[in-house]
Amino acid sequence: MFFSTIYCIRVFALARYKIVYERVGCIGAAVCVAVNPARWELDGDSKANLLGGVKNGDSFELELDESEIEQMKQAAEGCPVNVIHITNLDTGQKII
């Protein structure tokens, strides 16, 4: 007699997000740097740099999964000039 065991493995995909940073409008308040230093740094021109971001025209873009999104949301919500935008790539919903 032959017995077979079948294992079911569930794979949960983490949601993906797109960060768009309009560096031209940055005033150097550095809230983003304070709340998420792993992804932001202040440059010599007193504007923030999005670490890992790719230049696209006047903006910088970065894709993240939900493991990093809470700190990025804090950075975007704290930005006094609203130059950090977050979109859920799975739904198309603009978060910030």
**CATH code, domain carrying 46:** 3.30.70.20
Region 37-56: mean pLDDT is 97
Is 9 inside any structural domain? Answer: no
Is 60 inside any structural domain? Answer: yes
Residue 27 has pLDDT above 70, yes or no: yes
Determine whether 50 is exposed, middle or buried from the number of CB atoms within 10 Å of its CB (0-12, 13-18, 19+): buried
Is 6 inside any structural domain? Answer: no
Q: Which pLDDT value is given to residue 9?
A: 59
pLDDT over 90 for what percent of the chain?
85
Is 2 inside any structural domain? Answer: no
Mean pLDDT of the chain: 92
- Which domain range does residue 50 map to? 16-88
Q: What is the pTM of this model?
A: 0.86
**Tokens 């150097």 identify what position?**
28
Q: Which pLDDT value is given to residue 93?
A: 97
Is 10 inside any structural domain? Answer: no
Q: How many distinct structural domains can be found in the chain? A: 1
Region 2-23: mean pLDDT is 76
Q: Which pLDDT value is given to residue 13?
A: 75
Across the beta sheet with 59-65, the strand order is 54-56, 59-65, 16-21, 84-88
